[in-house]
Structure 1
Amino acid sequence: MPLAPKLASFPAIRGALTFYQICSIITGTFLLLLVGEMVMKYGFGYELFLGGSGGFLFFSPVAPSGESTGDGLNVNMTILVVHGWFYVVYLFSCFRVWSLMRWQLWRFIMLAAGGVVPFLSFIMEAIVARDVKHYLADREAAASDSPTPASEGAR
């Protein structure tokens, strides 16, 4: 059975949870954008560009060789890179919550999967936030109900 988090680490857990929630929403949003980009590129043969000869925002067909035919900023590639780099930040936030809460390894694997399975980060964010907040509230209530050794000695 894993060890329980110490009461002294509760402020750090709350901060890690907030960071995880923000990272989870950003990662999930970029993952959904990435899925949409892949459907557009591989399903319909178009990539999205910003600026260039096609105007402010335009779709450009993908060449049969798989190379982009548009000029300007390739929004598809930008989404891919941003999601990839932010997934690293998301993994750090998952690790921080997981290690502070002293959960089992399977829980970390589920948290990490949230960045690669569409919609899972939103589901995991809600579950983790609920579980952590309830756990902290229950432990704090139990700690406030039980007498401390210092107060027992004062009697």
Structure 2
Amino acid sequence: MTVKKLSIEDKKNITDVFTSVFTKAPWYDDWSDTNQLDMYINDLVGQGYSLTYGLFDDDELIGISLGYVKHWYSGTEYIINEFCVKTERQGAGAGSFFIAEIEKAIKEMGIKQIFLLTDSNAPAYNFYKKNGFSEEQTTRPMAKRF
């Protein structure tokens, strides 16, 4: 397996992997609005500060990390908005390999931290804990719907 940086030119393959994972259990995200999906992928991949990685098995894209670089007072961070490995490839170490390779790459860029949000009731929560992530003690996600 290899990890490579991706760009907006890889949008079709990124979208295929993204929807194959997040429209099924345990997420069940409804991405039937293809215009909204297209804009979302553009938001994550098509910006100057975007940092997108792909996990490949030979020539097949099997995992994606969609995020961006944030310059903060305590150091530069990689904010991951979406991270996944194709469902049929989960549970065999691909995700752990992927996150470890991303860590190596971003350390070389001077990035000091990865920050992400995940559902504490989803299997991803334990995956991240197993891979060295910890819960922020004082930071809480907040939302206001209207």
Normalised TM-score (structure 1)? 0.27
Question: Per residue, is there more helix in 1 or in 2?
Answer: 1
Question: Per residue, is there more strand in 1 or in 2?
Answer: 2
| Higher RCO (CA 8 Å, separation ≥ 6 residues) | 1
Normalised TM-score (structure 2)? 0.28
Larger Rg: 1
